[in-house]
Amino acid sequence: DILKTIRETEDFTADTEAALDKAVDEFRSTFVSSNGKPLVEKKPDVAKAAPVDQEKIVAGEK
C-alpha cells in the first residue's frame, strides 16, 4: 500500500512517486462523474489494432 509506505517510512522516493502516479492514473481511468461521463476519454490503442482488409468495388462493364 503506497500510503502506508509513505506514512511508515516518512520518505517520498522516486519509486514511491512513480507508484503513486500509476495508482492515480488507474483511478482516473475508472472514475465516472455524477453525470455519467468518464473523467478520462479512452482512446483505442492503435498499436494493438488488428489490420483491416479493404474491399475494392469495381464497376462492371456493360
Tens of pLDDT, residue by residue over 36-58, are 888 888 776 777 777 778 888 88
Q: How many domains does the chain have?
A: 1
Q: Which amino acid is at 34?
A: S
Whether 54 is in a domain gets the answer: no
Would you state the pLDDT for residue 54? 82
Whether 59 is in a domain gets the answer: no
Whether 46 is in a domain gets the answer: no
> What integer is the mean pLDDT of 25-45?
84
Burial class (CB in 10 A: 0-12, 13-18, 19+), 6: middle
Asked if 2 and 19 count as a contact pair (C-beta separation under 8 A), the reply is yes
Whether 11 is in a domain gets the answer: yes
Residues 6+ apart with CB under 8 A from 19: 2
Mean pLDDT of the chain: 86
Q: Does residue 26 have a pLDDT over 70?
A: yes
Whether 50 is in a domain gets the answer: no
